[in-house]
């Protein structure tokens, strides 16, 4: 998930963790950083603000990830949005929930110049 700090990002994080593992990433990350983190996560989808431009979009397409655009609802309370995807997703027979009980994955700067994954349950 590559979203700016706004109410919709907080609500989207909670919504995703209800059915899958959520990993909020820096919206300013480079394509190389995104590919590395997405590979580490085995990410299936990218959520970003509708109309956003990011090198992660091309990287996500290259990785075959589904891209979902978050569209804040106009004239609605903060945090209300729709997720719009261009390609249908067939989830038949797939488990969305991590079997280790992880709901949220955060990354710290780490000590080896590599991000360290911090799982939260």
Query: In the chain, what are the domain boundaries?
Result: 7-86+98-120
Q: Does domain 7-86+98-120 have CATH number 3.40.630.30?
A: no
Structure tokens belonging to residue 102: 């992880």
Average pLDDT over residues 96-103: 64
How much is the pTM? 0.81
Distances (CA, A) of 61 to 38, 39, 71, 97: 12, 13, 20, 23
pLDDT digits (tens, 9 = 90+) for 4-14: 999 999 999 98
In the three-class reduction of DSSP (H, G, I as helix; E, B as strand; rest coil), residue 35 is classed as: helix
Q: Tokens 């590559």: give the residue.
A: 2
pLDDT score for 91: 58
pLDDT digits (tens, 9 = 90+) for 33-90: 899 889 888 888 999 999 999 999 999 999 999 999 999 999 999 999 998 988 766 6
Report whether pLDDT(97) > 60: no
């Amino acid at each position: 998930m590559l979203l700016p700090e706004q109410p919709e990002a907080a609500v989207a994080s909670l919504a995703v963790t209800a059915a899958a593992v959520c990993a909020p990433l820096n919206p300013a990350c480079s394509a190389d950083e995104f590919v590395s983190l997405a590979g580490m996560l085995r990410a299936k989808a990218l959520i970003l603000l509708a109309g956003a431009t990011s090198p992660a979009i091309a990287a996500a397409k290259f990785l075959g990830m589904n891209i979902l655009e978050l569209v804040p609802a106009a004239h609605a309370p903060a945090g209300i949005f729709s997720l719009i995807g261009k390609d249908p997703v067939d989830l038949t027979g797939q488990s969305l929930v991590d079997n280790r009980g992880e709901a949220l994955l955060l990354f710290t700067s780490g000590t080896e110049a590599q991000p360290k994954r911090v799982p939260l349950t």
